[in-house]
Chain A
Amino acid sequence: MKKILIILMFFAMPAFAAPLQVVATLPSLAAIAKEVGGPLVQVEALTSPHQDPHYADAKPSLIVTLNRADAVIVNGLELEVGWLPPLLQQARNGKIQKGTPGYIDAAASVQLLGVPKGVIDRAMGDVHPGGNPHFLIDPRAGARVAVAIGQGLGRLDAAHAATYQQNAAALAQKLTALAKAETARFAQLPPARRTLVAYHDSLLYLVDWLGLRQIATLEPRPGIAPNPQHVAEVLQQMKAAAVPVIAQEAFYPENTSKTVSKLAGAKLVSLPGGARFPTETYEDHVRGLAQALYSALAP
Chain B
Amino acid sequence: MIRFPTVLKHCGFALAWLAATWPRAGHAQTTDDTAALAAALAADVSATAAPEPAGGGDSPLMPSIALIFDGAAAWFSDRDNLQSGGHDPTRTGFNLQQLELHMESNVDPYVHFAANIVWGPDGVELEEGFAQTTALPGNLQVKAGKFLNPFGRLNPTHPHAWHFVDAPFALTKLLGGDGSRGLGTECAWLAPLPWFFEARVAVSHPDPDTGRSFVDAAAAKPVHALGDMVWTGNLRQFFALNDDWSLYWGLSTQQGSSPQAFAGSTQIYATDLYLRWRPVANTDRSALSLQAEALWRRRDWLGRQMDDWAGYAQLVAEINPRWEAGVRAELGSGVQDDPLDKAWVGQRQRHTLQATYYPSHFFRLRLQGSVDLPSWRPDPVYAGMLAIETVIGAHGAHSY
Task: List the interface of chain A (C-beta within 8 A of B).
Answer: 11-12, 14-15, 48, 50-52, 55, 57-61, 63-64, 67, 76-78, 81-86, 88-90, 92-94, 97-100, 103, 105, 107-108, 122, 125-126, 128-130, 223-225, 250-254
Contact = CB atoms under 8 A, between A and B. Distances in A.
Interface stretch (B3-11, B85-93, B116-124, B392-400): B392-400
Interface string B177-198: 0000000000000100111101
Contacts of A83: 397
A122 B392 contact: yes
Nearest to A121: B392
Contacts of B243: 48
A89 B55 CA distance: 17
Interface of B: 20, 25-28, 51, 54-57, 106, 109-110, 112, 132, 134-136, 139-141, 190, 193-196, 198, 236, 238-240, 243, 246, 248, 276, 278, 280-281, 283-285, 320-322, 360-362, 392, 396-400
B280 A64 contact: no
Nearest to A199: B283
B122 to A, nearest CB: 30
Contacts of A14: 26
A57 B109 contact: no
Contacts of B400: 57-60
A294 B396 CA distance: 40
B132 A89 contact: yes
Main secondary structure of the interface of B (DSSP, over half): loop
> B27, B109, B360 — which one has the most chain A CB atoms within 10 A of its CB?
B360
B192 to A, nearest CB: 8
A71 to B, nearest CB: 13
- List of 5 A-B pairs having minimum Cβ-Cβ separation, nearest first: A94-B135, A129-B57, A60-B238, A76-B55, A50-B281
Nearest to A51: B280
A75 to B, nearest CB: 9
A59 B283 contact: no
Contacts of B281: 50-51, 250-251
B128 to A, nearest CB: 15
Contact of A59 (B51, B198, B240): B240
Contact of B190 (A63, A78, A108): A63
13 contacts: A15-B26, A15-B27, A48-B243, A51-B281, A59-B400, A61-B246, A78-B57, A93-B135, A94-B136, A107-B55, A122-B360, A129-B57, A253-B320
A50 B280 contact: yes
A253 to B, nearest CB: 4
A85 B399 CA distance: 9
B190 A94 contact: no
Nearest to A109: B55
Contacts of B280: 48, 50-51
Nearest to A129: B57
B283 A251 contact: yes
A98 B56 CA distance: 11
A100 B109 contact: yes
